[in-house]
A and B are shown apart, each in its own frame.
Chain A
Amino acid sequence: MKIQVTVNGKAHEKDVDPRTLLVHFLREDLGLTGTKVGCDTSQCGACVVNMDGTTVKSCTCLAVQADGSQITTIEGLSPKGELDAVQEAFWNNHGLQCGYCTAGMIMTAVELIDKNPNPTEDQVREGLKGNICRCTGYHNIVKAVLAAAEAKRS
């Protein structure tokens, strides 16, 4: 099937097998490997991307479902050479170790802060519960998201 999607501001028209998962389309057809596959049950959130303003788990979405949509992945979150406030905060606060969950965490956090610019710690923790990190114990991720929210407010 032919689909048209705009990913990180760039329009693509591609012929895809209807069963192709969005994450495989992004990673293998478009070469955007920043989005990760961490599980196959929609649990871990490593594959989170933003589709038309909302986060989706791209391992649980077909590429054809993305037809006509605007997608942002970690590669397109900030202009080249710049960092989004959330990326910067993850870096400043040691909000990552192995980095594998990081793209999904950051994409989730960006939406979380967009919807709630002044979240409490509990709200951040609730908001991240669809993303699994095995390295950090979440402590510094939560700290990073709170710091990013503060940076975006000021």
Chain B
Amino acid sequence: MTTRIFGSGIRRREDPRLITGGATYTDDVKLPGMAFAAILRSPHAHAKINSIDTSAAAAAPGVVAVYTGADTDGVLNPIPCAWIPPDSDVKAVDHPALAKDVVRYQGDAVAVVVAENRYQAEDALELIKVDYSILPAVVNPEAAMQPGAPQLHEDAPNNQAFHWVAAGGDTDAAFASADVIVKDTIVHQRLIPNAMEPRSAVATWTESMGELTLWSTSQNPHICRFLASLVTGVAEHKIRVIATEVGGGFGSKIPVYADEMITSFCSMQLGRPVKWTATRSEGFQATIHGRDHVEHVEMAATREGKITAVRSVIYAGMGAYLSTAGPGVPTILHGLMYCGPYDIAATKADIYGVFSNATPVDAYRGAGRPEATFLVERLVDLLAVELGIDPVELRRKNLIPKFEDGHDVASGITYDSGDYEPILNMVLGHVDYQALRQEQARMREHGEYMGIGVTCYSEICGLGPSQVAGAVGFGGGLWESAIVRFHPTGKVNVYTGVSPHGQGEETTFAQIVSDELGVDVDDVGIVHGDTSNTPMGWGTYGSRTTAVGAAALVLAVRKVKEKARLLAAHLLEAAEADVEYADGKFFVKGSPDQSKTIQEMATMANVAWNMPEGMEPGLEASAFYDPPNFVYPFGAHVAVVHVDPDNGHIEVKRYVAGDDCGPQINPMIVEGQVHGGVVQGAGQVLWEGAVYDDNGQLLTGSMTDYALPRAHMFPNIETLFTVTPSPHNPLGVKGIGETGAIASTATIYNAVMDALRPLGVTGIDMPLTPEKVWQAIREKQGS
């Protein structure tokens, strides 16, 4: 392949519409006769609904209709969970779109008002009278499983949503014979994803056709269509979901939520378009949260520093109901990754999924893998302290040696390719690790506390083989497809089932097509996000869009190219075997003057005046790609922090991300993904956290109370890369969307603990706010 534009950091074609205000996000959609919905949410975390009086609201100015759960009986099916891990006794409890008898978290939808404008709808909400009997609530997932805890669902005793165990190797024996065991309790606080675009839906029901069109802020419009058909009862082929412009997701726009289904219900009842857009406060309560683990973890090792086993008992909060992919996150995406990049013979993950009176939990950037990386990397650092070995040396001692085509790890999965030491050496050389340690020693003499955190990671993404999806209880496939179509003028459209929402695949996919077909990149249009004109696909999440979606694209492109080659042979009156392709042209071997461009073939195939016998007209192809394995990006990150012991303030002085995602289609976009991921991970360790009080009231319910990273809070990020191709997809690419968030939480946490070690502080629950750091230092100093 002649490389022209693959590997080039060209500007994104998405940007002109985004920098001029010309893009159309869901809330920008305006349809004739459109009404606005507003949803009444439970102010209580747990309560019985005695009665709902909507009469005053129904009579309010501009109000078109008011609906409660009773109105949806027999019309709207429960909101499904679509990931049921096998052998784990999952309690797939009913999740009515509008609560009927009981509300189970603050934010549970209770009623909906449809009015002529959004102000009138919001006004009328305040006129709905709900008589509640408040019930006791529980939020912490470990507390929720204790005897006597308030119970959420009759069908789920002890609030246990599931119990899933993954074990490989003889963990018990490894711990029994270990020279050293280190343990910790890790709390992965609840995080609130906060994509900048609030969730929104515009539904329009065409009664005469029985068709529903739904603009939805979705990362996976085809999954949305699939589940919407189950909830609304409208046949899948009569539903069109449009999610062409989506303002970030980070996992929070994977689920199919009650709200979008309620909006659809309203439109179907009223026969007119209805828009619902979450306020940010609504988003805090009713868009999924991430993480929420209470983890009891331990690592076994020899005195020489050979890690022999890792095991955990984890209480993973699911919130009040099982969200679309919720149960898959702390299990499949977490419990199989306890080896990380290390050669560890035995791992065991013992995971309890737990219901509690809080917002449902689902995939949030990294989804299970940041927790796994944190668990391993935290324990490695504790082990290094315990053994008196430099943490980098301890890591190096345990890294899996280079492998190019498969490496089985204890949990039973097979990593695709890995070469872990070069990237570690690269980041260490970049920061001059030894010099940093010397500087740290000098600073400590002056009472200044600098910390260095180094982590290595390997993660699982590029979800994934469909056979595995079925085996692990994912309610769908995980292949992708693409259609490549040449138009008569030689321009190309690609129709893809993935659904980018900020990742830039309109650009990178065009780069791939341009390279493969030798057409100008500007002559390639990428169409995505609308189920009416794109082929089935499973969406954009789990860093799978390029590893799976682009692989399908390449296969389709190659089919098109082969058809064009055969047509060229026919028109050149040459034997098929003698016609070759280079740089956008087909030519007869040895006679480069006798050639046809691929654009000429596009024209000739489309007019079909002179086709070879048996060849169909047109120049297009579709392809499906089901990967034989996941992909496993890896890397090594370094953070340097300063901690002020007088006020607990942490300053991240440097952050170096070393990553390997295989060949890079557009390095500028790759770096951008790393930057964003790193800062999201930093958000968890330093600032972010959903706080509930004992009654289940969300205290961090707005951007005023929930601290998101801002521009002045983090330095520039230094990015370094190695390139280790995946052996099993046609481009060799791995994912890069989540690596930053997977590595940075552990890296910065380890750096802070490294800084605080001389002060006797060994662990603080995240987020590491100045107050908590200051308190921890004070406690150790006994003052």
* Chain A residues proximal to chain B, CB less than 8 Å: 17, 19-20, 24, 27-28, 31-41, 43-44, 46, 73-75, 77-78, 83, 87, 90-92, 94, 96-103, 106, 121-122, 124-126, 128-129, 131-142
**Contacts A98-B196, A99-B245 known; 18 new A-B pairs at CB < 8 A:** A24-B118, A31-B30, A36-B25, A75-B21, A83-B19, A94-B669, A98-B195, A99-B18, A100-B248, A121-B716, A125-B712, A126-B711, A133-B711, A134-B676, A137-B714, A137-B717, A139-B672, A140-B672
Q: Does B704 contact A (CB under 8 A)?
A: yes
What's the Cα separation between A79 and B149 when bound, in Å? 63
Q: Is the CB of B15 within 8 A of A91?
A: yes
* A44 cross-chain contacts in B, Cβ below 8 A: 196, 280, 703
Q: Does B247 contact A (CB under 8 A)?
A: yes
Q: Does B199 contact A (CB under 8 A)?
A: no
* B714 cross-chain contacts in A, Cβ below 8 A: 137-138
* A135 cross-chain contacts in B, Cβ below 8 A: 196, 248, 502, 672, 676
What's the Cα separation between A66 and B18 when bound, in Å? 26
What's the Cα separation between A36 and B24 when bound, in Å? 11
Q: Does B22 contact A (CB under 8 A)?
A: yes
* B575 cross-chain contacts in A, Cβ below 8 A: none
For the complex formed, measure the closest distance between the CB of A41 and the CB atoms of chain B, giving whole angstroms: 5
Candidates A27, A91, A100, A134; contact of B250 at CB < 8 Å: A134
Candidates A27, A122, A125, A133; contact of B196 at CB < 8 Å: A133
Candidates B16, B117, B119, B196; contact of A134 at CB < 8 Å: B196
Please, which residue of chain A has its CB at the minimum distance from the CB of B744?
A137
* B23 cross-chain contacts in A, Cβ below 8 A: 34, 99
* B704 cross-chain contacts in A, Cβ below 8 A: 41, 43
Q: Does B168 contact A (CB under 8 A)?
A: no
Q: Is the CB of B11 within 8 A of A40?
A: no
Q: Is the CB of A91 within 8 A of B248?
A: no
For the complex formed, measure the closest distance between the CB of B114 and the CB atoms of chain A, giving whole angstroms: 17
What's the Cα separation between A38 and B446 when bound, in Å? 45
Q: Is the CB of A87 within 8 A of B702?
A: no
Question: Which residues of chain B from 703 to 719 have any CB-CB distance to chain A below 8 Å in the complex?
Answer: 703-704, 708-712, 714, 716-717
Q: Does B198 contact A (CB under 8 A)?
A: yes
What's the Cα separation between A49 and B717 when bound, in Å? 30
**A39 and B280 contact, Cβ closer than 8 Å, known pairs A128-B711, A129-B711, A135-B248:** yes
Q: Is the CB of A100 within 8 A of B197?
A: yes
Q: Is the CB of A38 within 8 A of B711?
A: no
Q: Is the interface of B mostly helix, strand, loop or mixed?
A: loop
* B269 cross-chain contacts in A, Cβ below 8 A: none
What's the Cα separation between A100 and B501 when bound, in Å? 10
Q: Is the CB of A138 within 8 A of B18?
A: no
Q: Does B194 contact A (CB under 8 A)?
A: yes
* B712 cross-chain contacts in A, Cβ below 8 A: 122, 125-126, 128-129
Query: Can you give 16 A-B contacts (C-beta < 8 A)?
Result: A24-B118, A32-B21, A33-B21, A34-B20, A36-B197, A38-B196, A73-B21, A91-B12, A94-B12, A94-B671, A99-B14, A100-B196, A100-B197, A134-B680, A135-B676, A139-B672
For the complex formed, measure the closest distance between the CB of A58 and the CB atoms of chain B, giving whole angstroms: 13
For the complex formed, measure the closest distance between the CB of B504 and the CB atoms of chain A, giving whole angstroms: 7
What's the Cα separation between A134 and B501 when bound, in Å? 12
Q: Does B409 contact A (CB under 8 A)?
A: no
What's the Cα separation between A32 and B22 when bound, in Å? 9
Please, which residue of chain B has its CB at the minimum distance from the CB of A75?
B21
What's the Cα separation between A138 and B652 when bound, in Å? 15
Q: Is the CB of B711 within 8 A of A37?
A: no
* B716 cross-chain contacts in A, Cβ below 8 A: 121, 139, 142
Candidates B27, B702, B710, B711; contact of A40 at CB < 8 Å: B702
Question: Which residues of chain B from 152 to 200 have any CB-CB distance to chain A below 8 Å in the complex?
Answer: 194-198
Contact with A along B534-548 (1 / 0, CB 8 A): 000000000000000
Between A99, A133, A139, A140, the greatest number of chain B beta carbons within 10 A of the residue's beta carbon is seen for A99
Q: Does B668 contact A (CB under 8 A)?
A: yes
Candidates B194, B197, B198; contact of A98 at CB < 8 Å: B197
* A19 cross-chain contacts in B, Cβ below 8 A: 119
Q: Does B679 contact A (CB under 8 A)?
A: yes
What's the Cα separation between A97 and B119 when bound, in Å? 31
Contact with A along B10-44 (1 / 0, CB 8 A): 01101111111111110110100000000000000
**A87 and B19 contact, Cβ closer than 8 Å, known pairs A39-B280, A97-B248, A134-B250:** yes
Q: Is the CB of B669 within 8 A of A136?
A: no
Candidates B195, B250, B678, B711; contact of A141 at CB < 8 Å: B711
Please, which residue of chain A has its CB at the minimum distance from the CB of B18?
A99
Candidates B27, B30, B245, B702; contact of A41 at CB < 8 Å: B702
* B504 cross-chain contacts in A, Cβ below 8 A: 97
What's the Cα separation between A91 and B18 when bound, in Å? 9
* A17 cross-chain contacts in B, Cβ below 8 A: 119
